[in-house]
Structures are given as C-alpha cells and as structure tokens.
Amino acid sequence: MTSLLRAPFAAIGRGGRTLMVGLGQWGRMVWEAIVSLRDVDVWLGLTLRQMTRVGVDSVPIALFIAMFTGIVLALQASYTFTGAIPLYFVGVLVGKTMMLELGPVLTGLALSGRVGANISAELGTMRVTEQIDALETMAYPPVAYLVVPRVLAGIIMFPLVTALAIGVGIAAGWLTSLQLLDMSTYEFVYGLTLFFQPFDVTFAMVKTISFGFVVTSIGCFYGFRTRGGAEGVGRSTTQAVVVSSMVILVLDAFWAITLL
C-alpha cells in the first residue's frame, strides 16, 4: 500500500531528475558553442550555407501558413464583431495578432518541425555512422563545425522568415477584407495603425530570436546524443520536435509575462 502511494512521487522525482540532467547537458553544449565562437575559420563559411537551409528553404511553408492565418483572422474578426464594433477593427486584430502572437508562434512551430527535425536527423545520422568521430579525428571541433553554424543561422534567419510571414499574413488579411468583407484599404490600414507601437516589432523579434535559438540548439542537442541505428535517429528527431515545440509555447508565455 505504501509503495503504491509512493509510486507517483517516485515517477515525478525520476522525471524531474531526467529533466535536470537533460537541461544540464544542453546547457553544457550551449556553453561549448559559445566558447567555440573563437574558431571563426571553422564556422564562418558553413553559417552562410546553413542560413540558406534554415531560412531561405523555410520561406514557402512559413508564408503558406501565414497567408491562410491572415485570411481566417480577418473573417473571424468580422464574424465576431457582427456590426457592434466598427469594421476597421479587423485591421487592428489582424495586425496585432499576426505581429504579437500568430506570426512568431506559428512560424516557430512550423520551423521546429522542418528545421529542428532536419538538424536532429542529420546530426543523429552523422553520430551513428561515426561521421562526428571522423570530424574529431581530423582535428575539427565538432561543436564549432556542426552546432555553431546551425544555431547562428537560426538566430539570424528565424526573425527574417517571421517578418516575411507577418507581412504576408497581414497582406492576406487586407485582401480578404477588401474582397470578402466590403472594407476599404483606408479602413483596414486605419485599423492596422490605430494601436500600433514600435515595441510590437521589438516584442515579435525578441520572441523569434529566442525561438530560433531553442529550435536549432535543441535539434543539435538531440542529434549529438543519438545512440543506436535508424531507431535511435527516429527517436531523437521526434524528441527534438516535441521538446522544441513545448519550449516555444513556454517561451511564448514567458515573454508575454515579462515584456507586456
């Protein structure tokens, strides 16, 4: 009976310990990446290539999501207001929601699937096929070669991709307002600018930079610690996507609490 009562606490204890150990190992890798910034000759050229893979190649999916989000936001705003609130508030809602919440978070979640999974699978495969060991035997510091370019690319490119996504989302909301809601461009833009503050842009960028950092660093972390064969790679990839998606949502709430 006692052991039955103790079991949930033991499970919580084990989970907590696993979390703390994982956090410690991830922190150690991040610290090593910071120290590896001195190996400029190793990571500089590779960072440009990763910026293309992390950023440019992610533009289509980010814009696709943003476009439909903008359309739905405009239609739902109009449906909710139902004549009680002036229609130019559609512009307010589309602009604020895209910039402060849906643009950064939906792009972050989409890229955690695309970029995080890609990084984890690639590094995981390199780990199990001894390619990372091979790098080390040729005197390449693996963190400088593999982690630093990817994390830097995430930090630089996530805000750019998100800015594009926010722009496309708002444009989609504007076109929807013109074509389906019988609004004028003047009304939409009036609403869009009514409560706009430059801090909104700062807030969105702070969020996306943090999302870029966690998605790429968590992808690298799970890739690096992959063990076993194809099954291990699959497990790491799943963990990278699940954990980075959860961390994005936690960070989203954290920034709202601390900055708004």
Partner 1 sequence: MAIELRDVYKAFGSKEVLRGFSAEARDGETLVILGGSGSGKSVTLKHIVGLLEPDRGEVWVDGLRVDELDREGLFELRRNVGYVFQFAALFDSMTVAENVGMGLKRLTGVSKEDRLRRVEECLARVDMAGYGERLPAELSGGQKKRVGIARAIATEPRYILYDEPTTGLDPMTRAVIDELINRMKAELGVTGIVITHDMESAFRVADRFAMIHDGKQQFQGSPDEIRSSADPMVRAFIEGRPELIEEAE
Nearest-approach distance from CB 134 to partner 1, in angstroms: 4
Nearer to partner 1, 129 or 185 (CB): 129
Residue 142 tokens read as 């693996």
230 in contact with partner 1 (CB under 8 A): no
Residues in 107-136 at the binding interface with partner 1, rule: CB under 8 A? 126, 129-131, 133-134, 136
Nearest-approach distance from CB 20 to partner 1, in angstroms: 19
Nearer to partner 1, 136 or 231 (CB): 136
202 in contact with partner 1 (CB under 8 A): no
Nearer to partner 1, 100 or 146 (CB): 146
Nearest-approach distance from CB 136 to partner 1, in angstroms: 6
Query: What's the burial of 23, exposed, middle or buried (CB within 10 Å: 0-12/13-18/19+)?
Result: exposed
List b or e across 177-197, with b for residues whose CB sees 16 or more CB atoms inside 10 angstroms. beeebebeeebbebbbeeeee
137 in contact with partner 1 (CB under 8 A): yes
* Rg of the Cα atoms in the chain: 22
Residue 62 tokens read as 């980010």
Size of site (CB under 8 A) for partner 1: 12
Nearer to partner 1, 46 or 72 (CB): 46
Residue 181 DSSP symbol: S
At position 169, the amino acid (one-letter code) is G
In terms of Cα–Cα distance, which of 123, 109, 127 is closest to 165?
Answer: 109
Nearer to partner 1, 150 or 207 (CB): 150
At position 251, the amino acid (one-letter code) is L
Residues forming contacts to partner 1 in the complex (CB under 8 A) are 126, 129-131, 133-134, 136-141
